[in-house]
Structure 1
Amino acid sequence: MRDRGHRNSNERGSSAQRRARKQFLLDKFGDGETAPCSEEGCGAVLTLTTMFCDRIIPAHKGGTYARNNIQPHCQYHSCRQGALMRAELRLQGREKVSA
């Protein structure tokens, strides 16, 4: 099985736990209903339904969904960060093979 940096779904928690995490981010970074994307210069205003909960330290480096390791992201930046992480992991895999 290919390791894409994802852990099993139990780590993400139940849907209620995921909603609580998003609400925490709305309260911490915004006004309780909206919050800005944490990516500098983005300007996207996020809601409970449009927010992606981003880990500052990714799972493949030991990061968890602890409240001190999460930040709000828009869909674009969440997908972009995931693509950059996958490219980094592929590059690391090639370096291990060629070493």
Structure 2
Amino acid sequence: MSGLNSKAKRKLRRWVLAEFGDGTTAPCAMCGCLLTIDTLTLDHYPIPACLFGHLTESNVRPACGPCNAEDGKRLDREYAFLTREERRLARRRILEQIAAR
């Protein structure tokens, strides 16, 4: 969660709990387990961090630690051999898919 200070991260976590849950809990987007402000991790979605995704309200979803870690490992393997420019192109394709919805 680089780029945000602890106060901003906590504020974003509170927003995620309200937006995706009931304000105090929210389900993990991948496995469905209930998360609190203390167990919630912020998953970069739909633009992953490895494709220069930022932690913003439009690019975050709730995730438990194990699911977020596993998803990050999968994405790192998937994009590991791409150059910086290829990652930018992949990011652009994701944004185009979102816009087409």
What TM-score does the superposition give when structure 1 sets the normalisation length?
Answer: 0.74
Distance 1:85 1:68 in 2: 19
What SS does the aligned partner of 2:14 have? helix
1:86 offset after TM fit, Å?
Answer: 1.6
Q: Does 1:80 align with 2:78?
A: no
What SS does the aligned partner of 2:15 have? helix
Corresponding residue for residue 44 of structure 1: 33
> How many percent identity over aligned positions?
33
Q: Does 1:29 align with 2:31?
A: no
Corresponding residue for residue 99 of structure 2: none
CA RMSD, 1 decimal: 2.0
Q: How many residues align?
A: 83
Corresponding residue for residue 96 of structure 1: none
Contact 2:42/2:60 (CA < 8 Å) preserved in 1? yes
What SS does the aligned partner of 2:80 have? helix
Corresponding residue for residue 14 of structure 1: 5
Distance 2:20 2:54 in 1: 19
What TM-score does the superposition give when structure 2 sets the normalisation length?
Answer: 0.73
AA aligned to 2:42 is: C
1:91 offset after TM fit, Å?
Answer: 4.4
Unaligned runs of 5+ in 1: 1-5, 94-99
- The ranges of structure 1 where at least 4 consecutive aligned residues each deviate by more than 6 angstroms after the TM superposition are none
Larger gyration radius, structure 1 or structure 2: 1
1:66 offset after TM fit, Å?
Answer: 1.4
Q: Does 1:59 align with 2:49?
A: yes
What SS does the aligned partner of 1:76 have? helix
